[in-house]
Structure 1
Amino acid sequence: MTTTYAGTPVVLDDEGFFADPDQWTEAMAPEIAKEHAIDELTDRHWKVLTFMRAEYAEKGTGPTVRVLGKASGVSVKELYQLFPKGPAKTAAKIAGIPKPKGCI
Structure 2
Amino acid sequence: MPVTTLAGHQVHVNEEGFLTDPAEWSRDLAVTLAGQIGIELTDAHWKVLEFLRSDFAERGETATLRRVSAVGGVPVKALFALFPQKPAKKMAYIAGLPKPIGCV
Within 5 Å, give how 1:19-98 maps onto structure 2. 19-38=20-39, 40-98=40-98
Change (3 A) 1:12 1:85: farther
Amino acid at match of 2:26: T
Aligned letter for 1:36?
I
Aligned residue pair count? 103
Secondary structure in structure 2 of the residue aligned to 1:85: coil
Q: Secondary structure at the match of 1:4?
A: strand
Q: Are 1:2 and 2:3 an aligned pair?
A: yes
Distance 1:10 1:77 in 2: 32
Give aligned-pair identity as a percent: 49
Task: Tell me the amino acid that sits aligned with residue 90 of structure 2.
Answer: T
The code of the aligned residue for 2:33 comes to I
Query: 2-side partners of 1:100 and 1:15: how far apart?
Result: 14
Q: TM-score, normalised by structure 1?
A: 0.93
Runs of 4+ in 1 over 4 A off after TM superposition: none
Which secondary structure state, in structure 1, belongs to the residue aligned with residue 78 of structure 2?
A: helix
Counterpart of 1:68, as a letter, is: V
Instruction: List runs of 5+ in structure 2 lacking aligned partners.
Output: none
TM-fit CA distance, 1:85: 3.1
Counterpart-to-counterpart distance in 2, 1:47 and 1:18: 20
Aligned alpha-carbon RMSD (Å): 1.0
